Amino acid sequence: MNQEMIRKYAEATVRIGANVQPGQPVVVYADVESVEFVRLVAEEAYKAGAESVRVEWSDQALTRSEYTYRTLESLSKVPTWKEAQLKEMTETIPCRINILSADPDGLNGIDRQKMQAVQQKRYQITKPYSDALENKEQWTIVAVPSKKWAKKVFPGIPEDEAVEKLWAAICKTVRITEENDPIEAWNEHNENFRKKCELLNQYRFEKLVYHSQNGTDFTAWLIPQALWMGGGETALSGIYFNPNMPTEEVFTSPMKGKAEGTLVATKPLSYQGTLIEDFRITFKDGKAVEWQAKTGADALEKMITSDEGAAMLGELALVPCGSPIDQLNILFYNTLFDENASCHVALGRGFSNTIEGFESMTKEETDALGINDSMIHVDFMIGAPDLSIKGYTKDGKEIEIFKDGKWAI
């Protein structure tokens, strides 16, 4: 891959994604295999005026060793220094840059029950800090190829060629080309999102009804005060940023506890290093009550039973068939990309900033209006070429939102 293109991507990550401001600290989360890109991101952050750049490294092989050999008690501890670090972040409000590159199969075989228990125990300690940061920080999620991920996406070619192909695909999805100005391209992209959200918000839908020949037959009720969002967001500081690069979705958070019917997944889901394939989930009274999967059934169950909110929905997202990512006809085995090729929903935590006027509300107040709370937020894809989505207003008016998997409005 052309190194200038990769540098252009690093610059876009900093200036379009996180939108680092002069004097702000930056925290980067990345796998050790991404070290070269991390160096570029750090340099670009400093060029943007970052006060400091701290990198928190991860490695799937080390994670496997930890879950194999460390005790549950040991893994569940949050060290005093780590808690102090989290507290400091609530005071300094750093920009967060998450760089994904994990092997989709990298944690196969790990004790799921142990992993879930560790996650639950750690979450009890870290939740107050993540709640304190909600809507205050700028953050973005991007991805760069790793060898194993690239070989999963392109299995029939040599490793180096697979990495090159994945680099090219990623750059295309995030609007990075040799000729274009990424900032201009993203400004246009965000303006298109603004127009679509403005149109959807005029209807104030009471509920959405989904149908597909594959077995999806589902109704979700919406929060009266919730808005549709898409593209960039504005932190409470007033700074505009793009949390996901790429993004093709328009989304909202539905009413907690009000959903009925079955959703059938149309793409595999990579969850904590395990692939879940050919699965469906049935909801009653807003909660997942039945589920099945051809592969990864144990991981699916552990995900849904993570906590009480994990069995309920936190997001409904609309992405038409034929989106730029869908047109690539690549299964990325990475939700950041696959969710932007298809309509999807998310189990778990909802977004308080979808509530109109959230700026003057507490988290408890937005939760009381119907925003779901959970330790997880996991998207899975339900888009299909025949997917129909209809919106119903409070006075009973029916609006066709999606027909044959594409926008109808």
Domain boundaries along the sequence of the chain: 3-173, 196-407
Please give the structure tokens belonging to residue 389.
């989505």
Please give the structure tokens belonging to residue 305.
């039973």
Residue 105 in contact with residue 152, Cβ under 8 Å? yes
Q: What is the pLDDT of residue 273?
A: 82
Q: What is the pLDDT of residue 274?
A: 87
Beta-carbon contacts of 178 under 8 Å, excluding residues fewer than 6 positions away, are 2, 4, 5
Beta-carbon contacts of 1 under 8 Å, excluding residues fewer than 6 positions away, are 164, 167, 168, 171
Catalogue the long-range contacts made by 111-118 (C-beta closer than 8 Å, 24 or more residues apart): 111/67, 112/274, 112/298, 112/299, 112/302, 113/302, 114/67, 114/72, 114/75, 115/67, 115/272, 115/302, 116/302, 116/305, 116/306, 117/72, 117/76, 118/67, 118/72, 118/75, 118/76
pLDDT along the chain (409 residues), means of 10: 92 98 98 97 98 97 96 97 97 98 91 93 95 96 98 96 97 92 94 97 97 98 98 96 97 97 96 92 98 96 96 98 92 94 97 96 96 97 97 95 96
Is residue 193 classed as helix, strand or coil in its secondary structure?
A: helix
Residue 252 in contact with residue 354, Cβ under 8 Å? yes
Q: What is the pLDDT of residue 180?
A: 87
Q: Which of 249, 256, 259 is nearest to 282 (CA)?
A: 259
Element (H, E) at 391: strand 388-393
Class of the CATH domain delimited by 3-173? alpha beta
